[in-house]
A and B are shown apart, each in its own frame.
Chain A
């Protein structure tokens, strides 16, 4: 049976933190991409949950997102001007907890605009935690060769990690 789901690369943030995680020279030999994250930023303002910006080929321009989110009591929706993966834990979340998220990008080598979907949850045992599903659109026709994930402020803290997978349809 053919291998259709392969881990391409994994990265874990070191003790100095990182302003972003970036995968470059992405092989163009798969059908779809999947990125799974375990993330926490060092932002102390606001709540325990933050969102992250996705950039493709070095640019976050021309990205939009439609989001459905909730906190266990209230659900709502929003339109965003950047492609997003929501949510991950901030510095206000319970110590040593990390949010979990994944981003699926079908047909990343096509010459059409690139759609993607993501879902993510923050993690905290003390205050409101948020979860969200996003439908993203990157209105660029270039094949995706690099992908970056940055917190909406501050840096990823040590032990944040991300794995990029390649998916083949046969």
Chain B
């Protein structure tokens, strides 16, 4: 198992730096929307590789979870383009994110295999999906960011999931509330700065809390990283107890002081809870989440808001994430499924999806050419800048097969601390033990 981790690490360690460097070069506002020559060549090569007209009259199912209305709308437009190009029909099956893995496992176990799915974690389906490099040639994965490709490789280097968008965690602020309080909009800040500013704005605007963060191990991993540590690495558990204690104490102290809502953390039990409603209700001036909120906030927020840089402690940057498209081997028409995934991740389609859904692209050519976001380009550029500042070990942590188990442990152990049933050192010990158990189970 360790050997497998090392293999992934070898890919990821070299690849992540490349992707970070590439993303840091990506311009947002004012960038050209036309793909560069290299991108056009890639697109042409891919188009030549797949004769879409061969699928005329056929149909496929695409199991999809939505981040909100804008991405669904953009996806439907992309599907329409595929249907026009191929003559095939696509049935879009939208399932709640919480039920996605269960739904897919049930479909696979029952023999009712979908053709394509959008997933955030492809590992549970590793034995069921198509190696896209085998289907489209060994160089196919070269079109995508090496760091993201490294998180999509099977044990033997198969390219099992096509990274369709990359996400970056980071904070949002209520600009109206900041202005009302006379607090400057941050262009860079530390955790101490952020807490001080958030508290000042909260008090000036009589808001319920100063700070909110989604109740998610993925989002808390951002805080852990900023305080200098990560949950997992290629060789196993990497959590530094002292750094983790500082990070967790910062959060639990904020809850004990009512700067953050302890109720929010405890009342939802073991369920995920997003603090976006608190932010949108004007109950909190600073909210730590991620770039996928941009499109939704652009439509629903009734006040001026902005994405701002992640706060620094021991180090800066956020925490990455991403979505993938997978084509299933056992579907009725695996060739069509693979062709659909390939089409949906072509330059012009991924560009259209990124613009419409406020997604960050995963293709090298789009990184080079840039995306002109029609909505909130300044906010998207903040997230892009944070990608460049994000340490590479965060990608390795995310790529670990035990990340899900470790993230669950983080949430549950923090809840115990907030409820006063455990101290922080014990919580950290338990997180490490449960992460090790997660690695053992994954092996």
> Are A and B bound to each other?
no
Residues of B within 8 A of A (CB): none
